């Protein structure tokens, strides 16, 4: 092969290689689950046409939105935001020490790291709706159940990303402090946390956005907030009031996302 051919071969895009046996197993398994799920959903043209008709009926009955109960709806939305902020605040505070135990460069030993990661994985695996049902049984109906559910969900979400960011930081500042005789806590609070603070802040803001959307759903199972209003309106077929609630939720969620994005742009 000439020098020119070698250069062309080097610059050419990589060719597709034959998938391995493992890749074929994953692909066939995915295809099987997809086909099974599609068939079990009983998707038919008649159901789709009927569904579009029912959707049109819903919007016809929902428009124009009924704003007669805007004040209690706004109070319920405020309760939802309060649930999210309180839950995320406690969740982030608890996530940081757990993340330090999960990280390879800050954990005391391998067993503690493994155990902490299993706890985080368990919290992350259980949906926030399930946590809400559990805490409704434990503490009764109301915002407290929603706050506790958001705390659990936030720990599972934030602790994982906190630990990944802590593991990715440059070891230089930590080694510099260690060389001066600083202890483990001094290294953590003097080098590791300050260096990862921007990423931790961004992840916490994502947690707030996520918690506000979650808090809406938690109200459907009695955990307080705007979800109770939405569930009641839908059960009573007051679709005009339901549309008002949906619009209020949309405005608040978009507003928080815009504020969160602005803060992240300044921090990162």
71/58 Cα distance (integer angstroms): 24
Using one digit for the tens of pLDDT, what is the confidence trace for 149-170?
888 888 888 888 787 787 777 6
Using one digit for the tens of pLDDT, what is the confidence trace for 178-209?
666 666 666 666 666 777 777 777 777 777 87
Compute how many other C-beta atoms are within 10 angstroms of the C-beta atom of residue 209: 17
Q: What is the pLDDT of residue 209?
A: 78
What are the domain boundaries of the chain?
A: 70-267
User: In the CATH hierarchy, which fold is given to the domain comprising 70-267?
Assistant: MetI-like fold (1.10.3720)
Of 122, 156, 131, 267, nearest to 205 by C-alpha is 267
> Is 120 exposed, middle or buried (CB count within 10 Å of its CB: 0-12, 13-18, 19+)?
buried
Q: What is the pLDDT of residue 16?
A: 58
Of 229, 205, 242, 190, nearest to 85 by C-alpha is 205
pLDDT in tens, the chain (268 residues): 555 555 555 555 556 566 677 777 888 888 888 888 777 777 677 777 777 777 777 777 668 777 777 788 788 888 888 888 888 888 888 888 888 887 777 777 778 788 888 888 888 888 878 888 888 887 777 778 888 888 888 888 888 878 778 777 766 666 666 666 666 666 666 666 777 777 777 777 777 878 887 777 777 776 667 777 777 777 777 777 778 888 888 888 888 777 777 776 776 6
Task: Look up the pTM and report it.
Answer: 0.72
């Amino acid at each position: 092969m000439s020098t020119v051919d070698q250069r062309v071969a080097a610059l050419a895009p990589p060719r597709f290689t034959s998938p391995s046996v493992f890749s074929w197993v994953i692909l066939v398994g995915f295809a099987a689950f997809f086909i099974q799920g599609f068939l079990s959903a009983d998707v038919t043209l008649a159901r789709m046409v009927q569904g579009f008709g029912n959707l049109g009926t819903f919007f016809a009955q929902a428009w124009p939105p009924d704003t007669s109960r805007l004040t209690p709806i706004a109070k319920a939305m405020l309760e939802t935001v309060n649930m999210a902020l309180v839950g995320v605040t406690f969740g982030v505070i608890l996530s940081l020490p757990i993340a330090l135990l999960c990280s390879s460069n800050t954990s005391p030993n391998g067993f503690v790291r493994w155990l902490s990661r299993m706890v985080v994985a368990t919290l992350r695996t259980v949906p926030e709706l399930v946590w809400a049902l559990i805490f409704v049984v434990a503490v009764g109906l109301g915002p407290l159940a929603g706050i506790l559910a958001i705390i659990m969900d936030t720990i599972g979400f934030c602790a994982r990303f906190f630990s990944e960011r802590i593991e990715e930081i440059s070891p230089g500042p930590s080694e510099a402090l260690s060389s001066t005789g600083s202890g483990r806590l001094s290294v953590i609070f003097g080098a590791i946390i300050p260096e990862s603070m921007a990423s931790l802040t961004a992840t916490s803001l994502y947690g707030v956005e996520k918690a506000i959307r979650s808090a809406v759903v938690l109200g459907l199972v009695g955990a307080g907030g705007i979800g109770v209003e939405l569930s009641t309106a839908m059960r009573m077929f007051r679709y005009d009031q339901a549309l008002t609630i949906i619009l209020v939720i949309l405005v608040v969620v978009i507003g928080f996302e815009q504020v969160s994005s602005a803060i992240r742009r300044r921090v990162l």
